Structure 1
Amino acid sequence: MDLEKKITILNKSSYNNVDFEVISYDKLRGAQNVNMAQSMFFAEQTGLKVKQVKITLNNSSIKTEAGALYYCKGHIESKTKIGGATGLFKKAVSGALTSESAMKPVYSGTGEIWLEPSFKHYLVMELDNDSIIVDKGLFFCCSAEIDIKPVSQKNISSALLGGEGIFQIELRGTGIIILELNIPESEIVQYELKDGEELKVDGNFAIARTSGVSFSVTKSDKSLLGSAMNGEGLLNTFRGNGIVWLAPTAPMYNRLYSGIYFSNSSMNNKE
């Protein structure tokens, strides 16, 4: 099969003898019954495509989320660094709290690595001696030079009320990072904060921030009563110097997925 004629390269980035590619399959052609054909037809009409991350190694290394490997070809070895019983216990606890696996496999050598295909979307980011903090469950793969570790929320309010959990994931260093998202890259909004500016968000649809930006939960009004009366309540607040990435449409996709939006629309039409 001439695969190159059946795929589209959506994004491509390289660092230190590693090529990262996000591809999509132009069309699925394997319908086996009417129901499957109908699902494939609607998927094609709405632009829903299978996507996959391909990584080409040339005497180099990468890290992935555990279980992300689909298949590989060439002279490639896999190593998983445990770091002793104490380190394993700490990683297991933080992994459980962040929805991330405790171990991150490292693949080294020369050849091709194909990660699990998905209908989800992928965001390719480049770090240059910097660090970002990402929402739980988003990490997919990165350059081997990137350090991955859990970071705890700085205060009780953000840990308990912010919707992000007690721990998030910090990615630090220089190289390429790929995050797995529920929304396309075109719907992500990037805001730069300067001189201690604030960004207040009604919900937990911020997906990442640079380490110079702090996160807390604050009142939407000067008083608790005012916050309750104005209908906004508490807000996720980002403050500092750096960049915040928002996914404003994410809550709508969650509603569509669960059918809440259409259920509410039907009830409103009846009224």
Structure 2
Amino acid sequence: MTKVLFILSAVVMLVATFFAYQNGRSFAQIRDSVTATNVKVQSELNAANAIVAQVTKTANDADAVKQEVDIENEKIKSQKLKIAQADNDAKRAQEELDDRNKKLAELKVKLDKLPKGVKPETLVEDINNIKKTIAESQAETEAKKKEVESEEGKVADARKGLDDLVRKIEDRKKSFDRNSLMAQVVAVNPDWGFVIVNAGQSKGITEATKLLVVRGTQTVGKLSIVSVQGERTIANILPDTLGSGMQIAPGDRVILENLYQ
């Protein structure tokens, strides 16, 4: 009888040990699963915070570009005023030059009308004065010519500076417009996993363009372009890029992925 009880006790202990071992393995698996889930949640949270930071930085960059454009516009206004002033100075210098040339021509006509061989002292003195006046007028004419040439050079330099500013602003505007694409998802086919976007070639989208779908400050997912038309783009949804528990829906915004790079 004692042997039987001993054998039964041994069996009970073996069974208890087996179940304890099984329960320990299940607990370890659950603990590892919870740890992995926490790590994944933290990773998604860090990614979301990074996207928010990138969106904020992009908005700040856009404001900075706008401020630069405003500054450049003010510079253009200043350059236009300088050009107008230089044009007026050149015009005034030319008018003075023409007036002195006219006086010089009148003096030459008077000299030509003097009788030949007549040289009274008073007349000689008058002639000398006229010659002196002619010499002074010629010197002033040359000076005015140089002033006109200088003003024309200033006008050319100012116009060149204005052209450079206009070209710079146009380049900045094109870059800003290209990087500020805003479109929307107008239709979603969940069965086939594709969407239709209301922007296409007219907005500069090509098959190589990388697109993001956002909702508020959150990124919903990424798109892979299938075809691009004038005002419409068809793109596949990349399932691996969808946020946890999120699906792309009509009305979601579509922007360039390179805004965040």
Q: Shorter chain as normaliser: what TM range?
A: under 0.3
TM-score by length of 2: 0.18
| Higher RCO (CA-CA < 8 Å; seq separation 6+) | 2
TM-score by length of 1: 0.18
Of Structure 1 and Structure 2, the greater strand share is in 1
Q: Which has the larger radius of gyration?
A: 2
